[in-house]
Amino acid sequence: MKTNYFLKRIIFLMLASLAMLSCKKNINEHPEEGGKKQTVKFMVTGANNDLGTAGSAVNAPLKDLIKQLTIVVYQSFTGQEYTRVTQLATDPNFGELSLDLPLNTYNFVAIGSRSLFGINQFYQGATNTVILPFNEGNMQYWQPNQSPSEKLYKTDDTFVATIMNTISANQTINLNMDRIVGKLEVLVEDVANYEVDVNNEATGYLFAAKTSFGSIENDFGYIVNNTKGPISIYILRTDKPLEIEVSGGGKKRSLSVPVYKNKRTVVKGKLLEPIGKVGFSFVINDKWLADTTLVTL
């Protein structure tokens, strides 16, 4: 009888231990992954093309602002990418998407640009999908060469929205994207023909940090001149000064220029001023002009 008592006691303790382990396992699991999915609809808009105020209601259709729209979904608890979806402006429902997602809390990132781009990669010919966690996730303008030392200027009007949201039922999420690029405009008053060499423009954008990264590495940089009209170019490098060289009339001037998101930096001055005199001034303008003055080569 004593032996049976101890045997029953051991069996009881074993079953209790298993029950405790089972409970502990359930705490760390995410049972919603295998449960019912909810339909999440996205309505995406962008900042007004003619106004400097970020987040202004858009007057123009989204397809007039951007060519590509990508939404990346990250699980907030793990930071891992759950899914992504891309639309092009040729889609009749451009800006309206839907996904079926399990009950969970997510970070949603919407990226739109007039220049086509990749997620977590920059080579346009790449066929693989690169998955990175939220704190490393990024967009990069497509490059024609897979070598990091051959990145070219590809910046265009670009918008981003990042929000965290808990999905507990079918719902619609409005994503109002803010412009993340600025404009650089250069006007030389005493030289008829001049050019600007941009040396350290960024080539990508980090979602979590909300900063630009990468750099034009081509030895020739990016050079634009005023033969086709005023110089006005998009700049993604807004977190630190942009290094440029203005040249014309046999003179050259190196400048460190601040550029801010959704604002225009107007650089104006004279190249032929004697050494020692201030040749150029910078003006930050909140008014975002239409792209009729945009000049690229």
| Domain containing residue 137: CATH number | 2.60.40.2100
Q: Do the domain assignments include residue 295?
A: no
Shared domain for 261 and 168, answered yes or no, is no
Q: Do the domain assignments include residue 32?
A: no
Q: What is the dihedral of CA 40, 211, 215, 111, to 10 degrees?
A: 20
Looking at residue 192, its amino acid is A
- Using the predicted structure, report yes or no on whether residue 97 has a pLDDT greater than 90: yes
Shared domain for 173 and 248, answered yes or no, is no
Shared domain for 142 and 198, answered yes or no, is no
Shared domain for 150 and 206, answered yes or no, is no
Shared domain for 145 and 263, answered yes or no, is no
Shared domain for 175 and 189, answered yes or no, is no
Q: Please tell me the least confidently modeled range out of 85-99, 168-182, 253-267, 278-292.
A: 278-292
- Using the predicted structure, report yes or no on whether residue 289 has a pLDDT greater than 50: yes
Looking at residue 24, its amino acid is K
Strand order in the sheet with 195-198: 222-225, 195-198, 242-248, 251-257
User: DSSP letters along the chain, please?
Assistant: -HHHHHHHHHHHHHHHHHHHHHHHHHHH--GGGGS-EEEEEEEEEE--TT--STTPPP-S-GGGT-SEEEEEEEETTT--EEEEEEEETTSTTTTEEEEEEESEEEEEEEEEESS-EEES--BTT--SPP---TTT-EEEE-BSSS-GGG-------EEEEEEEEEESSSEEEEEEEEE--EEEEEEESS-SS-EEEE-----EEETTTTEEE----STT-EEEESTTS-EEEEE---SSPEEEEEEETTEEEEEEE---TT-EEEEEE-SSSPTTS--EEEEEE-----GGG----
Q: Do the domain assignments include residue 22?
A: no
Q: What is the pLDDT of residue 229?
A: 86
Shared domain for 128 and 189, answered yes or no, is no
pTM confidence score:
0.82
Shared domain for 92 and 128, answered yes or no, is yes
Shared domain for 153 and 199, answered yes or no, is no
Q: Do the domain assignments include residue 157?
A: yes
Q: What is the pLDDT of residue 273?
A: 77
Q: What is the pLDDT of residue 9?
A: 56
Q: Please tell me the least confidently modeled range out of 4-18, 29-43, 111-125, 171-185.
A: 4-18
Shared domain for 42 and 151, answered yes or no, is yes
Shared domain for 90 and 211, answered yes or no, is no
Average pLDDT of span 134-141: 98
Q: Which of 131, 161, 179 is the last residue of a domain?
A: 179
Banded model confidence at residue 294, pLDDT cuts 50, 70, 90: very low
Backbone phi and psi for residue 7, each to the nearest 5 degrees, phi listed first: -65, -45
Domain assignment of residue 133, given as a range: 38-179
Query: What are the tens digits of pLDDT across the range 52-65?
Result: 444 444 467 888 88
Banded model confidence at residue 50, pLDDT cuts 50, 70, 90: very low
Count of structural domains, the chain: 2
Average pLDDT of span 23-34: 38
Q: What is the pLDDT of residue 267?
A: 94
Q: Do the domain assignments include residue 255?
A: yes
- Using the predicted structure, report yes or no on whether residue 11 has a pLDDT greater than 70: no
Banded model confidence at residue 172, pLDDT cuts 50, 70, 90: very high
Q: Which of 149, 179, 209 is the last residue of a domain?
A: 179
Q: Which of 130, 148, 179 is the last residue of a domain?
A: 179
Q: Do the domain assignments include residue 25?
A: no
- Using the predicted structure, report yes or no on whether residue 285 has a pLDDT greater than 90: no
Shared domain for 77 and 96, answered yes or no, is yes
**Residues 249/224, Cβ–Cβ less than 8 Å:** no
